[in-house]
Amino acid sequence: MAREAETSRILIFGGTGYIGKHMVRASVSLGHPTYVYARPAGPQTRPSNLDLRREFHSAGVHIIEGELEEHEKIVAALKQVDIVISTLTYPQVPDQLKIIDAIVSAGNIKRFLPSDFGCDEDKITPLPPFQEFLEKKRKIRRATEAAGIPFTFVAANCFAAYFVNFLLHPHDPRDDIVVYGDGKAKAVLNYEEDIGKYTIKVANDPRACNRVVTYHLKPNVISQHELISLWEEKTGRTFKRVYVPEEDLVKLSQSKF
Ligand SMILES: NC(=O)c1ccc[n+]([C@@H]2O[C@H](COP(=O)([O-])OP(=O)(O)OC[C@H]3O[C@@H](n4cnc5c(N)ncnc54)[C@H](OP(=O)(O)O)[C@@H]3O)[C@@H](O)[C@H]2O)c1
């Protein structure tokens, strides 16, 4: 049977990470032979990372231990799979050039999803601290295109649990919540587990090849005010909303730390 007709094999870089673990779990649950390229475990490896490796191992995930500098090892890993997803942590975004080089050498990869998973960096002009952040991600997009690698760039919008934690501090016993700007700006908060599932589906969907896919689900669009009101309803508490005006946020973003 031709490889295309079979279930695609997926390799995930950063699979032990915050969002990567959801990609790995979704890949397994959707029946894909799943591989994770991870740094060799050692005394410095966090216990939660080791727990995940054990979980993956018992779920049949192939864990390939190696560094991003090990070109031949990465090429050999790539030759076993069809699709590559990178969920490497932000400081390692430029290191994805090494993955791109290895994909070119391997020559068999049908789709590459680099570590984007935020806003669409080709569409927005953020405040200064985030310009450099997004510029690094843009460079990886351009390098992927220039190498002629079939890609899908994913704009996952906000990770829901991550942002709920930031915007509500639900574990904080205090009764005041900092509101950013007027609190009415809308954001898309997508649950991390869903992002994992959408990403595996999108990676396998021919319609998403060489496209940017944005996870913009109407029921997930919410303002900070609405979020606080939902939390008040759920907990029966009333929170004091402490405003940081938009002008102050802009000034803060322009100051040098
Ligand atoms: N939209 C949002 O709300 C949102 C929120 C957070 C993050 N993000 C984005 O999501 C992507 C993934 O972020 P994340 O927070 O999930 O990542 P993370 O958990 O910080 O790290 C992911 C993995 O990167 C690997 N890694 C860490 N340091 C490394 C190093 N020095 N060298 C090589 N590998 C290293 C680790 O894997 P091993 O230890 O197994 O090697 C780690 O598990 C990023 O692009 C980030 O910007 C988006």
Is any atom of ligand 1 closer than 6 Å to the C-beta of 156?
Answer: yes
Is any atom of ligand 1 closer than 6 Å to the C-beta of 83?
Answer: no
Summarize pLDDT for 136-168 with one digit per residue, the tens. 999 999 999 999 999 999 999 999 999 999 999
Helices 246-254, 128-146: crossing angle, 10 deg rounding: 70
Is any atom of ligand 1 closer than 6 Å to the C-beta of 151?
Answer: no
Question: Which residues have C-beta within 8 Å of that of residue 127, sequence separation ≥ 6?
Answer: 249, 250, 253, 254
Which residue, chain included where needed, has tokens 């690094």?
136
151 touches 113 (CB < 8 A): yes
13 touches 99 (CB < 8 A): yes
Counting as low any pLDDT under 50, the low residues of the chain are: 1-2, 4
Mutate to test the pocket of ligand 1, among 11, 16, 19, 216 (most ligand atoms within 8 A of CB): 19
In the prediction, which pLDDT does 127 show? 86
In the prediction, which pLDDT does 4 show? 45
How close is the Cα of 176 to the center of ligand 1, in Å? 31
CA dihedral angle for residue 181, residue 183, residue 186, residue 192, rounded to 10 degrees: 100
Summarize pLDDT for 3-15 with one digit per residue, the tens. 545 799 999 999 9
Is any atom of ligand 1 closer than 6 Å to the C-beta of 90?
Answer: yes
Q: Which residues pair with 243 in a beta bridge?
A: 179
Is any atom of ligand 1 closer than 6 Å to the C-beta of 87?
Answer: yes
Of ligand 1's atoms, which has the minimum distance to the CA of residue 118? 1
In the prediction, which pLDDT does 256 show? 64
Q: Determine phi and psi for 64, rounding to 5 degrees.
A: -105, 120
Question: Which residues have C-beta within 8 Å of that of residue 32, sequence separation ≥ 6?
Answer: 7, 8, 9, 10, 200
Q: β-strand 62-65 against 34-38: which pairing, if any?
A: parallel
In the prediction, which pLDDT does 257 show? 56
Question: What is the domain partition of the chain in residue ranges?
Answer: 3-156+191-215
Give the architecture-level CATH label for domain 3-156+191-215: 3-Layer(aba) Sandwich (3.40)
| Secondary structure (DSSP) of 124-167 | ----HHHHHHHHHHHHHHHHHHHTT--BEEEE--EEHHHHHHHH
Reference 152, options 197, 206, 194; nearest CA is 206
Of ligand 1's atoms, which has the minimum distance to the CA of residue 20? 16
Q: Is-above-0.85 flag for pTM? A: yes
